[in-house]
């Protein structure tokens, strides 16, 4: 793929695909990370004299104009983050978009309405891609976090215009390559979360690529149960036991060490500050559930991390939203942060809950790289080709 280093931006209309699908609660933006991480690309293009036409999806309006899913509130948010005016067009294609683009001068910035208000977006309709392409002379994709979608604004249009990776896309791809593409070894992966069933492909791919795979969270319960441990009332997937055993076998064949919990923190109820205690994996009481990994497991993870050069982290080790079941996640996150700061470890984290967990641990700024992507990060860990990235290389 080409980056915007190869783009002669001056005087060009540049269609910039952003991911402005930011979390909103009661009409307020609750996390501005995606906005902040996008600003360098916008500022660079505008400073170079491009006419920057920004498009993005927001939420899932399913091809209809849903007023609550308008990108309009993002106009002010972007303008505040950039400290420059951002113009608005009430549609992302058609006469309103065309008139707004025609009115732009070099260095101007325009935000278009939600691409998913048109059914053609998610269908990757060639007519929609052509309508988007007609607005610009070049296309820059800075939406790694939407690159797992083969949509008109992420995939189709990249084939119709000279296409470039924006700075955020470039940073994401470089970090991911350093994590799994061409990593410094040994590589440790920490995978947590609730279900084995949603992370099957991910576990399968990682066990072929990393040296140590640490499994935590409720999904570890399924593995422990599959090995014959009684798990009491713990959340687990009984129908996944065969699969879990197969994953363990495959990892062994690939010389990947799988580190499962050796001890657990259990409680009778999943409640904040419910009385809890540490038990070995062989001693989970019938009336209790595992809600975090225990201190011996923490130590075993720490030991692997001290011997590692690269870490990929997806998913918390315990039910970190509710104290004290955030203990292991926070402790391990702090070890990761200090090893990263000392230069011994390259640490890359991403995917939904992971970023929230790392923020909660207060270490998000001290990791080597935190991805802005949820689903796209997971699909990338699964070893899948992301259509939005592939189209950049084809364009």
By annotation, the residues acting in catalysis are 34, 195, 352, 375
- Shortest Å distance, C-beta 387 to ligand 3PG: 12
Name the one range near ligand 3PG by CB under 6 A: 66-74, 145-153, 228-236, 313-321.
145-153
Residue 19 or 170 with smaller CB distance to ligand 3PG: 19
Q: Closest distance between ligand 3PG and the C-beta of residue 153, in Å? A: 11
Contact between 116 and 58 under an 8 Å Cβ cutoff? The reply is yes
Q: Please say which residue, 153 or 340, places its beta carbon nearer to ligand 3PG.
A: 153
- Contact between 145 and ligand 3PG by CB under 6 A: the answer reads yes
Distance CA 101, CA 10 (A): 15
Q: List binders of ligand 3PG among 374-393 (CB under 6 A).
A: 374-375
| Selected range binding ligand 3PG among 4-12, 144-152, 307-315, 383-391, rule: CB under 6 A | 144-152
Rounded to the nearest 5°, which phi and psi values hold at 101?
-70, -40
Shortest Å distance, C-beta 353 to ligand 3PG:
12
Exposed e or buried b per residue across 247-273, where buried means at least 16 C-beta atoms within 10 angstroms of its C-beta: bbeebeeeebebbbbbbbbbbeeeeee
Contact 148, 376 (CB under 8 A): yes
59 known member of a binding site:
yes
| Site mask for ligand 3PG (CB under 6 A), range 3-32, x = bound | ----------------x-x-----------
Which residue in the set 60, 62, 72, 306 belongs to the binding site for ligand 3PG (CB under 6 A)?
60
How far is Cα 53 from Cα 297, in angstroms, rounded to an integer? Answer: 50
Options 15, 93, 133, 146; binder of ligand 3PG; rule CB under 6 A: 146
The answer to the question of residue 318 lying near ligand 3PG (CB under 6 A) is no
Tokens describing residue 196: 């084995």
From the list 89, 164, 85, 156, the residue with the least C-alpha distance to 122 is: 156
CA 260 – CA 214 distance, rounded (Å)? 6
The interface region with ligand 3PG, picked from 70-78, 141-149, 274-282, 291-299 by CB under 6 A, is 141-149
**Nearest alpha-carbon partner for 370 in 172, 182, 219:** 172
Q: Per-residue contact track with ligand 3PG, 294 to 313, x per CB under 6 A?
A: --------------------
Provide, rounded to whole angstroms, the least separation between the CB of residue 20 and ligand 3PG.
8
Q: What residues line the site for ligand 3PG (CB under 6 A)?
A: 19, 21, 60, 145-146, 149, 374-375
Instruction: Return binding residues for ATP.
Output: 199, 321, 351-354
């Amino acid at each position: 793929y080409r980056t915007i280093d190869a783009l002669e931006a001056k005087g060009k209309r540049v269609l910039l695909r952003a991911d402005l699908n930011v979390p909103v609660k009661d009409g307020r933006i609750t996390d501005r990370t995606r906005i902040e991480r996008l600003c360098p690309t916008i500022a660079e293009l505008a400073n170079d004299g491009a006419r920057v036409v920004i498009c993005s999806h927001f939420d899932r309006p399913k091809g209809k104009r849903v007023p609550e899913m308008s990108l309009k509130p993002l106009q002010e948010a972007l303008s505040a983050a950039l400290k420059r005016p951002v113009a608005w067009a009430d549609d992302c294609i058609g006469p309103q978009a065309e008139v707004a683009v025609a009115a732009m001068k070099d260095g101007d910035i325009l935000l278009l309405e939600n691409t998913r208000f048109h059914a053609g977006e998610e269908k990757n309709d060639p007519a929609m891609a052509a309508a988007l392409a007609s607005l610009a002379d070049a296309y820059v994709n800075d939406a790694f976090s939407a690159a797992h979608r083969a949509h008109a604004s992420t995939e189709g249009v990249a084939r119709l215009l000279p296409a470039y990776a924006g700075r955020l896309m470039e940073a994401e791809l470089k970090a991911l390559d350093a994590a799994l593409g061409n990593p410094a070894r040994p590589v440790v992966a920490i995978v947590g979360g609730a279900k084995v069933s949603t992370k099957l492909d991910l576990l399968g791919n990682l066990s072929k690529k990393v040296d140590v795979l640490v499994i935590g969270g409720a999904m570890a319960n399924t593995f422990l149960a599959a090995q014959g441990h009684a798990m009491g009332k713990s959340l687990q997937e009984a129908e996944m036991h065969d699969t879990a055993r197969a994953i363990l076998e495959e990892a062994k064949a690939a010389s990947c060490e799988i580190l499962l919990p050796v001890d657990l923190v259990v409680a009778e109820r999943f409640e904040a500050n419910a009385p809890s205690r540490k038990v070995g994996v062989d001693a989970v009481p019938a009336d209790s559930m595992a809600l975090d990994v225990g201190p011996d497991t923490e130590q075993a993870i720490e030991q692997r991390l001290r011997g590692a050069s690269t870490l990929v982290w997806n998913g918390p080790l315990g039910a970190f939203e509710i104290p004290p079941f955030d203990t292991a996640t926070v402790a391990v996150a702090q070890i990761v942060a200090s090893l990263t700061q000392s230069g011994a470890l390259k640490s890359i984290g991403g995917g939904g809950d992971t970023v929230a967990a790392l923020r909660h641990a207060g270490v998000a700024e001290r990791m080597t790289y935190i991805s802005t992507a949820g689903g796209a990060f997971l699909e990338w860990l699964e070893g899948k080709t992301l259509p939005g990235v592939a189209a950049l290389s084809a364009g």
